[in-house]
Amino acid sequence: MISDAIETTQCQRKDPVDLFHSGHFVKICAPMVRYSKLAFRTLVRKYNCDLCYTPMIIAADFVRSVKARDSEFTTSKGDRPLIVQFAANEAQVLSDAARIVCPFADGIDLNCGCPQRWAMAEGYGACLINKPELVQDMVRHVRNQVENPRFSVSIKIRIHDDLKRTVDLCRKAEATGVSWITVHGRNVEERHQPVHYDAIKIIKQNLSIPIVANGDVKTLKDAENIHHMTGTDGKNSAYFGYYFSKFARKWTF
């Protein structure tokens, strides 16, 4: 539950990007519909989860409705570091949503990876990977309007069939000031097909910001294996994070 007013007070929080410079890969609990609420986040933090996301929230509804804010976003003092994931297709709306959650979270994530038909029909999710200029505009607006320089702005994407387009999208996002990029290693049409970890590796090799690998991470061992498949070892391992949603979900039983 959060205040009705849009907060512009500068939030003095640790920069979540620092996690990627800790000397080990970052264990991240993915944004999951119905699962990633406060109670679940509290649970996985007890098992050494480094960073948690909220479920995806429609930014326009969140900005417009107090009821939506009270329903979709609840947090607590120990719920940190926390990233709020939004679905958005308008720069100012995303910026307004980011300003609302800034006092209560450490960053926002723009969902550019959801392949569900309803989301893409509304201009949300994976359709945004084909609109790099719009993604840049949304990232830029948040950067310019949220006063806290430590407030992270990240994006989650899927890959194109032509990987050059994905690399171009990521480079444009990086140039605009995105904090890190999560890459789900499947294209928009793929669901249960094998994850293209080679594509994630190529993306990492072409960028200097942290890259988070996403897709079929079911155990901590999976995360370690994917780390070695997609990136370098040694200190550079700090530049990788892994979603462990299914791994975390097992702990609830």
pLDDT at 231: 67
pLDDT at 13: 61
Sign of CA dihedral 208, 91, 12, 101: negative
pLDDT at 103: 96
Sign of CA dihedral 111, 112, 114, 116: positive
CA dist., res. 61 & res. 180, Å (int): 25
Check if 114 is active-site.
yes
- pLDDT for 88-105, tens place per residue? 999 999 999 999 999 999
Query: Which is catalytic among the residues 102, 114, 127, 170?
Result: 114
Helix (H) / strand (E) element for 202: namely helix 197-205
Give the global pTM. 0.88
- Which letter does DSSP use for residue 104 in this model? G
Q: Which residues of the chain are under the pLDDT cut of 50?
A: 2-12, 232-242, 244-253
pLDDT at 172: 98
